[in-house]
């Protein structure tokens, strides 16, 4: 179970990193880069939007793109510390 | 003048200092971990944070209870129930922070009112009330001895599995053993030694070591 949780945090980190590297990214490109099933991808994206880590922007011509919020950027910076804390305290 | 005399003659000053040290440590841990929880929404961090919040409040209420008892103020009973509730819940939260993944359901949005914590709340209230009715502390002592025997075993397993990579797991295990020992000493002091001050001093020292150990761990692990 512990590794499953770590994987989940890692997936979140990977998605956020991909968005940060691209600044803005289309949903289909992010889906391919995330290496997740469409169903799982949707769940993660909904969670990240709900947490305020990423935002979905829709342009005038209906194009959708994801970008990183300040909270998402903060999370990436703190990710290693949080991961270390979780493991060192057996959480 | 020996240490024992110094302690007994300055009881209130030392009690106040003891409470101040432990509640301050708890609040530092709560503030540090709360930031991590808000960023990650990780339930383990959330329950760990709650444990130290409840420890902090518990020790503060304990100090107030001491004032009430020593100055023979009435209504100390309700303070005792509140104190026991917070201490029992702190133990439950720390235990649950280690095992929550095995029992977590998907929709645990609240760390205070989800089904498992509600069960812990009910148990804590019942145990505190039973102690009040029977005029004892034994229900709290036994619940905490059981809880911290479990947490000691879990933290030992964590230590044996991952100690090479994560250094604090060893100190976490030592911390759990210290709390376990403190609760056993509490039980012995209450049941067989009429709250002998020398045993209480040792319990106090063990508690301070435990909280400083965890403060050290939180600061060390979270420094960038």
Per-residue pLDDT band for B76 (boundaries 50, 70, 90) equals confident
Q: Nearest Cα to A17, choosing from A61, A51, A48?
A: A48
Q: From the candidates B33, B216, B221, B224, which should be mutated to test the interface with A, based on the most A CB atoms within 10 A?
A: B221
Phi, then psi, of A64 in degrees rounded to 5: -100, 135
B40/A contact by beta carbon, under 8 A: yes
pLDDT at B128: 97
Q: Is the dihedral of CA A46, A48, A50, A55 positive or negative?
A: negative
pLDDT at B71: 64
**Looking at chain A, how many residues does it have?**
91
**Domain boundaries along the sequence of chain A:** 2-88
Length, in residues, of chain B: 224
| Chain A contact for B39 (CB, 8 A cutoff) | yes
Query: A17-21, B114-118, B202-206 — which is least confidently predicted?
Result: B114-118
pLDDT greater at residue B50 or residue B13? B50
Give the pLDDT confidence score for residue A73 in this predicted structure.
92
Structure tokens at B154: 């879990």
ipTM of the complex: 0.85
In chain B, what are the domains? 8-222 (1.20.1070)
Helix (H, G, I), strand (E, B) or coil at A25: strand
Residue A3 — pLDDT band, cuts 50, 70, 90? very low
pLDDT tens-place string over residues A7-32: 677 889 999 999 999 999 999 999 99
> How confident is the model at residue B107, as a pLDDT?
60
**Residue scoring higher pLDDT (A31 or B104):** A31
DSSP class of residue B164? T
Average pLDDT, chain A: 89
Give the Cα separation of A3 and A42 in Å (integer).
22
Average pLDDT of the segment spanning B99-113: 73
* Long-range Cβ contact pairs of A42-49 (< 8 A, separation 24 or more): A44/A11, A44/A12, A44/A15, A45/A15, A47/A12, A48/A12, A48/A15, A48/A16, A48/A72
Helix (H) or strand (E) holding A24: strand A24-25
Q: What angle do CA A17, A74, B97 make, to 5 degrees?
A: 100
Q: Which residues contact B113 (CB under 8 A, 6 or more apart)?
A: none
Please provide the DSSP assignment of A37-89 as one string: -HHHHHHHHHHHHHHTSEEEEE-TT--EEEEE-HHHHHHHHHHHHHHHHHHHT
Count CA within 13 A, CB hemisphere, residue B125: 6
CATH code 1.10.3720.10 for A2-88: no
**What separation in angstroms does the CA of B51 have from each of B9, B18, B55, B111, B128?**
33, 19, 6, 11, 17
Is B165 near chain A, with CB under 8 Å?
Answer: yes
Q: Is the pTM of this model over 0.90?
A: no
Contact A64, A57 (CB under 8 A): yes
Q: Is B31 on the interface with A (CB under 8 A)?
A: no
Q: B224 and A81: CB-CB below 8 Å?
A: yes
Contact: B48, A89; criterion CB under 8 Å: yes
Chain CA centroid to CA B115, Å: 22
pLDDT in tens, B13-39: 899 999 999 999 999 999 999 988 988
């Amino acid at each position: 179970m512990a590794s499953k949780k770590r994987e989940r945090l890692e997936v979140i980190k990977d998605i956020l990193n991909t968005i940060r590297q691209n600044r803005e990214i289309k949903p289909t490109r992010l889906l391919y880069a995330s290496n997740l099933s469409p169903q799982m991808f949707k769940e993660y994206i909904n969670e990240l939007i709900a947490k305020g880590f990423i935002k979905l922007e829709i342009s005038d011509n209906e194009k959708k793109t994801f970008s990183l919020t300040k909270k998402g950027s903060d999370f990436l910076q703190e990710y290693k510390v949080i991961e270390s804390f979780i493991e060192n305290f057996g959480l | 003048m020996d240490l024992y005399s110094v302690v007994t003659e300055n009881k209130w000053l030392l009690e106040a200092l003891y409470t101040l040290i432990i509640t301050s440590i708890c609040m530092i841990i709560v503030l540090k971990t709360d930031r991590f929880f808000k960023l990650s929404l990780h339930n383990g961090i959330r329950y760990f944070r709650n444990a130290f919040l409840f420890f902090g409040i518990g020790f503060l209420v304990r100090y107030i209870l001491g004032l009430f008892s020593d100055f023979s103020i009435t209504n100390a009973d309700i303070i005792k129930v509140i104190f026991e509730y917070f201490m029992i819940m702190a133990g439950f939260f720390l235990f649950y922070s280690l095992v929550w993944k095995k029992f977590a359901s998907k929709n645990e949005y609240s760390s205070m009112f989800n089904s498992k914590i509600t069960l812990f709340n009910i148990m804590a209230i019942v145990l505190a009330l039973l102690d009040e009715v029977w005029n004892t502390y034994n229900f709290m002592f036994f619940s905490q001895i059981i809880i911290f025997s479990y947490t000691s075993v879990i933290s030992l397993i964590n230590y044996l599995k991952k100690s090479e990579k994560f250094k604090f797991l060893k100190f976490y295990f030592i911390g759990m053993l210290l709390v376990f020992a403190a609760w056993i000493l509490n039980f012995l002091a209450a049941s067989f030694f009429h709250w002998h001050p020398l045993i209480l001093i040792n319990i106090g020292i063990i508690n301070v070591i435990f909280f400083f150990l965890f403060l050290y761990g939180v600061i060390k692990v979270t420094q960038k």
